[in-house]
């Protein structure tokens, strides 16, 4: 019975990690959207918040999700200009 309990606890931990990852991913997408909006308006923007969230996501270290990439201001600018 102990093995079943251990497996259940492990699954619960993994689920909590995954749920946190999803929360951070939503926040990261919001920050990316904010940066894209500012860039498209010709206003100054930063990727600091995006990359702080990215680092937190990568620290969760879910083996079935590839590491998230750090976002540069050039990446945002290139994206905005490609949409024009």
45, 33 in Cβ contact below 8 A? no
Q: Locate the domains of the chain by residue range.
A: 2-82
Integer CA distances (angstroms), 58 to 2, 34, 75, in order: 31, 21, 19
pLDDT band for 2, please (50, 70, 90 cuts).
confident
Query: Rounded distance, CA 20 to CA 41, Å?
Result: 32
Q: What is the pLDDT of residues 29-72, one digit of tens each?
A: 999 999 999 999 999 999 999 999 999 999 998 888 899 999 99
Q: What is the pLDDT of residues 12-35, one digit of tens each?
A: 998 999 999 999 999 999 999 999
DSSP state of 83: T
- Please indicate, yes or no, whether the overall pTM of this predicted structure exceeds 0.95: no
């Amino acid at each position: 019975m102990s093995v079943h309990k251990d497996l259940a606890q492990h699954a619960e931990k993994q689920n909590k990690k995954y749920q946190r990852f999803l929360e951070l991913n939503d926040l990261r997408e919001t920050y990316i959207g904010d940066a894209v909006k500012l860039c498209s308006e010709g206003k100054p923007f930063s990727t600091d918040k995006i990359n702080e969230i990215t680092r937190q996501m990568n620290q969760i270290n879910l083996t079935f999700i590839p590491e998230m990439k750090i976002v540069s201001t050039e990446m945002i600018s290139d994206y905005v200009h490609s949409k024009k």
